[in-house]
Structure 1
Amino acid sequence: MSVVEVKQVAKLYNNGRGVRNVSFDVAQGDIFGLIGPNGAGKTTLLKMLTGLMRPDRGTIHIFGHSVTERFEQAMERVGCIVETADAYDYMSAYDNLKLSARFYPDLPRSRIGQALEQVGLAQYANERVGGYSLGMKQRLALASALLSNPRMVVLDEPTNGLDIEGMVDIRNTIRRLAQEHEITFLISSHMIHDLSLIANRVGIMNKGSLIRLGEANEWLRDGMTLEQYVVTHLQASKEADDDDE
């Protein structure tokens, strides 16, 4: 079953950058990694997926609903962090999530504690966020994305700027949530090693185009690391561009 269906989606800016005719799907239970260098179009694509930006053309369906035509139904079971997830440093983690919970009028108060438990912050729930490490703040952002008990979570560069311990924490949390709660993840990142440890499918982007879709067993079967797999296809894409010039 496809949770996400993207068909021929394009969004171009005046400077010529953006996203060009991208198509892919994300199956239920996937940890799908969207990989590419900075400026490849990953964040633009995620903004269109989450309704923050309207595509110039193409269609995006989540759980069978069009993001542009039935936004509320499409996003009803989706949590997301796109670009920076802010929190109030002078407030506790619990109180920050209590503010976020106002967007979900039917959400039981107990869900706040459950979300903090899911990301391993329950014991720090009443501490001020200003005293949190960057990794803990990222886990709090993930708790906010999980607050509505979504079936899919979209994350934009979730390990960006983290130290090794923070990266490991976020990776382990995502893997555990996928396994124990059957949450589908769509993760954008240029941190290839991190994705290689959790993703079962990847899409490689370059210059706004999706140049390769691959399963985890594809690069492993060929005796490659994910980094080698990505670099190989980015180089092939560059050579094809050079031949066209």
Structure 2
Amino acid sequence: MERERVLEVKDAAKRFRNGRGIKGVSLELSRGDVYGLFGPNGAGKTTLLKLITGLIRPDRGTVHLFGKPAATRFEEAMSRVGCVIESADAYEFMSAYDNLKLAARFYPGIAAGRIDQALEEVGLAPYKKEKAGGFSLGMKQRLALAAALLPGPELVILDEPTNGLDIEGMVDIRRTIERLAREQGIAFIISSHMIGDMEKLVNRFGILQGGELIRQERLQDLLPEGTTLEQYYMAQIQSKKEADAYA
């Protein structure tokens, strides 16, 4: 049985004055997919995520969320999406619960019980009354993930969710994402530099280099036997650099 398509990006392009951006990017996600988006700094990862979430508009191309065109039916399309882009901000003088209570104001119809449920989903329920200022970076990342989960999304977009975390924090975030994808069928698209850690999590991945999506497919289909995702990534980046040098 074919899974529901949750995201479809076709030929998306965005160019900034400094020459950076993305060009001709196309990708698809279905329910339960965990898609890793990899690439060096400046490759266009955050630009692509901002474009998907409507924070910036493409120069060309289309984005469909759950079959709805984001350009003309944005609110309807985004109603099933949660995201954390660029930073896991929290009001440090407020408790975890109050931070989510404030975030819930941006989503119509969020019941009070949903806040407790979101905290439970990320393992922060025992700390709901503690101020975020006393949280470790890993706990703040989990609080940000809880905020993204508030509307009960079917697609979650995360920008560097394990950035700066220690090993324990990375494992906690990874296990939470694995469980939500498996048990609830939530699809995730995650940008990250932590390729070794993400290899244990993603079932699909794409490599961005110079604004182009140079490779993407299912993990099991693309990796030669005995090759790690990190090795494959480095080989593809080097191949693209050499091709550009001779272009």
DSSP 3-state at the match of 1:45 = helix
DSSP 3-state at the match of 1:58 = strand
Distance 1:232 1:218 in 2: 16
Question: RMSD in angstroms over aligned alpha carbons?
Answer: 1.0
Amino acid at match of 2:34: I
- TM-score with structure 1 setting the length: 0.97
1:58 aligns to 2:61 (yes or no): yes
**Counterpart in the other structure of 1:188:** 191
**Counterpart in the other structure of 1:84:** 87
Alignment of 1:1-245 (within 5 A): 1-244=4-247
The CA deviation at 1:229 is: 1.1
Please tell me whether the aligned partners of residues 18 and 41 of structure 1 are also in contact (alpha carbons under 8 angstroms): yes
Gaps of 5+ in 2: none
Distance 2:241 2:223 in 1: 23
- TM-score with structure 2 setting the length: 0.96
The CA deviation at 1:182 is: 1.2
Please tell me whether the aligned partners of residues 59 and 66 of structure 1 are also in contact (alpha carbons under 8 angstroms): yes
Q: Hey, which bits of structure 1, 4+ residues long, moved more than 3 A?
A: none
The CA deviation at 1:179 is: 1.1
Distance 2:86 2:92 in 1: 18
Amino acid at match of 2:195: I
Please tell me whether the aligned partners of residues 151 and 184 of structure 1 are also in contact (alpha carbons under 8 angstroms): yes
Please tell me whether the aligned partners of residues 223 and 232 of structure 2 are also in contact (alpha carbons under 8 angstroms): no
After superposition, give the CA deviation of every residue in 1:75-126 in whole Å (9 maximum; x if it has no partner). 0100000111311111100011001111223111100000000000000000
DSSP 3-state at the match of 1:154 = strand
The CA deviation at 1:219 is: 4.4
Please tell me whether the aligned partners of residues 204 and 210 of structure 1 are also in contact (alpha carbons under 8 angstroms): yes
DSSP 3-state at the match of 2:129 = coil
The CA deviation at 1:221 is: 4.4
Question: Which deviates more from structure 2 when the two are superposed, residues 123-132 or residues 213-222?
Answer: 213-222
% identical aligned pairs = 61
Distance 1:87 1:15 in 2: 31
The CA deviation at 1:220 is: 4.4
Distance 1:105 1:236 in 2: 48
